[in-house]
Structure 1
């Protein structure tokens, strides 16, 4: 997919104060009125490419949205001991942390870009752009909804209650002083955005379209969202459909999903190339990198687990993150992959049945088999709740350094006993950035940070 980017409104003022930000020189989309910009299908496609590109930069999946949860989980360390990262590890992050601000601002920039496209659904603009056919129109709108849903899902997992904005805003908007929406209502919108997943293509045939959201990506994300909502039957049914009918498979070698782009396991993958490089890959490099991991994390792996020596590279007394191959930082970043869907299914199925069913066990075991691990017979799993915890442990080792363990462990409370240095359930979510609250006095703060 051709990559280019432009930045949009929400968060511009606060980002100006963040020294780490690297995209302030991009042209805000709100400087071009939507009715002039979207003149035909080609212009909508251009906006869609830009929308995908908002996911790749260092303030989102290209670093912050991946690495910050890893710091919070205690799985990553800063080689130079930068305090703005290390406070996540000690669960002492403050209200003025630049990285929570980057995640917040980039998220709402992405959401506004999606909202600009989705404005074409409104009654007064429904016939504004002529599409080749109805399915093309539906697919493009569903792609925008997928990205909006993914972004809101990460926001609500990171911050709890967040403003729910579903219409475009601009620099001249008078309604930006919004309040936070209860997380349950945000989840309802996420589910609504994903529920039409059948309108997305099952596959893209053109090479230029690789990396766009498919119906299977949207359905897999909806399964994950339902797991977080506690809707276990729906989560199991959706994950099961992706597994049985999506046409994906686990490569025999665990590392293939990282060393081979868009592998048979990858369901949704951020695309990088020589033009738009993966900043995170540069940050974990053995030469010039700023992030690494620790012997403690290395030692948590079973010695026979093949994932250990792929995920972690030991060089003398230093332990590096190994999920990126050496060389140019062009490695893609898998966001949704089949192994996670297997484990979503295993947990949801066990929770719904309140027992360790054969199917739940089968997909749990499949992930462990590829890792080279022995798994006890299903008959030994007599406590379904203990099995669910085992599944979460497996997901952590499987998805090490992918930005998931922190959210997964806070979801069930495991973070209190197995992850947090300073256990406090109030800090399962990050603080609302103070720079945003200074701009918008209607934004409340999460309780654990009110005294800061």
Structure 2
């Protein structure tokens, strides 16, 4: 029986049925009667296929798992929901359905990306502008690199698949490859995207992969490799490009109407339509407070809330707090609905959350809110993957270069730009702990904190996690404390049982990848 990994690679045109969207470059012409032989014949067809890479294949990762790993395991979130609880308590097993969703989603991205990378240059006629072909391949290679960046940080050694179609006739039982080779593969893909994707797009194509997105992801990848000189170089290229900047108001980043704003370097692109599934952002359904009339679509279950530990991590007067989490007495005039026609005020008493707070980020509101459209489990707000604020923090950390502190003027300048927008006083001495804290607050629900803890000194990471309060209030003031101490083995997740059953090579030691 063929391993389930194969189905993600051989369904080349799986996405064609879901491309009738209505948002900027995701709006596509009808694509019926398409085959491998007659596809990629026009610029419209090329743009249509690459557009499908920006949302659909990432859907199962974004739907539940990416924040279960990045924020729940990292201690930023609390849950009462049994499907998430193993991530909070480090008891995830191989048969966990969220694991399979993440794995399948990421290899679906790789399979679809490989279709662009390997088939497009062969099938595109000579009449097609070769710059468009190279740009499209660059988009595919960026997506493949991003998928592998998630895979290697979540599972460590995994199979490198550079040509999905070869699996259809060859041996589908693929070994895992060494982590250092996966990072080399990622960097090669990003360097191609950097060289072949444009600096900017017109408004119709806003949100597509740019050379700046490739540079920003390269900076982050180099940071994980502790290659601080290259991380700094790439971060400075992004900073000095003049393309990106911080939005003045942190809250504006997380408004649907501001998708693909000047701070956004790369984001997954979603559309809200009533009759389609797999193209939308579902986060609001799980994040919005239960029973408060915010969504008015039948969802809004409050399955996840900010953890007590994360709530306590905010400095006084941090302007990011209100747009990130709801706390007693906060008023949100933009969250209008039939229940709350003048806006929504989070209750001051009769606590509706086990941690006395709820999530604000990625909550769009009701069908009558100004950030619509909104349907049941469907909004069109982008998922931020790379923002200019993170590049500034990468730049500061790269200058610190593994040290404990610095007074370097450039490092402080980048770091303090992020703090200034948050309304916080500047630092005159910058420590690594300052950077780790700032990343946690700035990038809340952008799925990085668990991966940040996974890349730092292991004893330090275990100490941080074991001292987090992961429990909840059992009355107005008293906490039922939950403390969890991970082991070294908890910093990588088990591979899905369905995959290892059908491909036993996944359980064998990794091997070098043949780059030929």
Name the count of aligned residue pairs: 414
In the alignment, which residue of structure 2 is the partner of 1:283? 286
Supply the RMSD in Å over aligned alpha carbons: 2.7
Among 208, 222, 228, the alignment partner of 1:226 is 222
Greater Cα offset, 94-103 or 411-420: 411-420
Among 151, 154, 158, the alignment partner of 1:162 is 158
- CA apart distance, 1:130: 3.4
Is 1:241 the counterpart of 2:285? The answer is no
TM-score under structure 2 length normalisation: 0.75
Is 1:274 the counterpart of 2:325? The answer is no
CA displacement, residues 332-384 of structure 1 (integer Å, 9 cap, x when unaligned): 22111011000001001111788441101111111111111113424xx5xxx
- Look at both structures and tell me which one has the larger radius of gyration over its CA atoms: 2
Is 1:67 the counterpart of 2:68? The answer is yes
In the alignment, which residue of structure 2 is the partner of 1:16? none
In the alignment, which residue of structure 1 is the partner of 2:201? 204
Greater Cα offset, 424-433 or 37-46: 37-46
In the alignment, which residue of structure 2 is the partner of 1:3? none
Is 1:404 the counterpart of 2:452? The answer is no
Is 1:428 the counterpart of 2:491? The answer is yes
**1:41–1:129 contact (8 Å) kept in structure 2:** no
| SS of equivalent residue, structure 1 residue 157 | helix
Q: Decide whether aligned partners of structure 1 residues 356 and 182 sit closer, same or farther in structure 2, where only a CA change above 3 A counts.
A: farther
**What does 1:1-400 correspond to in 2, within 5 Å?**
10=5, 12=7, 34-57=36-59, 59-79=60-80, 81-82=81-82, 84-120=83-119, 126=122, 128-130=124-126, 132-169=128-165, 172-196=168-192, 197-207=194-204, 209-259=205-255, 260-275=258-273, 276-287=279-290, 288-289=300-301, 290-314=303-327, 315=347, 316=349, 317=351, 318=353, 319-324=357-362, 325-327=364-366, 328=374, 329-351=379-401, 355-378=406-429, 381=430, 387-400=431-444
Among 503, 506, 510, the alignment partner of 1:440 is 503
Distance 2:425 2:162 in 1: 48
Q: Decide whether aligned partners of structure 1 residues 153 and 295 sit closer, same or farther in structure 2, where only a CA change above 3 A counts.
A: same
Distance 1:149 1:238 in 2: 16
Distance 1:251 1:86 in 2: 35
**1:350–1:356 contact (8 Å) kept in structure 2:** no
In the alignment, which residue of structure 2 is the partner of 1:19? none
**1:12–1:105 contact (8 Å) kept in structure 2:** no
In the alignment, which residue of structure 1 is the partner of 2:477? none
Q: Decide whether aligned partners of structure 1 residues 34 and 186 sit closer, same or farther in structure 2, where only a CA change above 3 A counts.
A: farther
In the alignment, which residue of structure 1 is the partner of 2:462? 416
TM-score under structure 1 length normalisation: 0.85
- CA apart distance, 1:281: 2.0
| SS of equivalent residue, structure 1 residue 255 | helix
Q: Decide whether aligned partners of structure 1 residues 162 and 171 sit closer, same or farther in structure 2, where only a CA change above 3 A counts.
A: closer
**1:203–1:214 contact (8 Å) kept in structure 2:** yes
Greater Cα offset, 59-68 or 97-106: 59-68
| SS of equivalent residue, structure 2 residue 76 | coil
- Structure 1 alignment gaps of length 5 or more: 1-8, 14-22, 382-386, 448-452
- CA apart distance, 1:65: 2.0
Distance 1:44 1:235 in 2: 32
Distance 2:119 2:166 in 1: 16
| SS of equivalent residue, structure 2 residue 358 | strand
| SS of equivalent residue, structure 2 residue 266 | strand
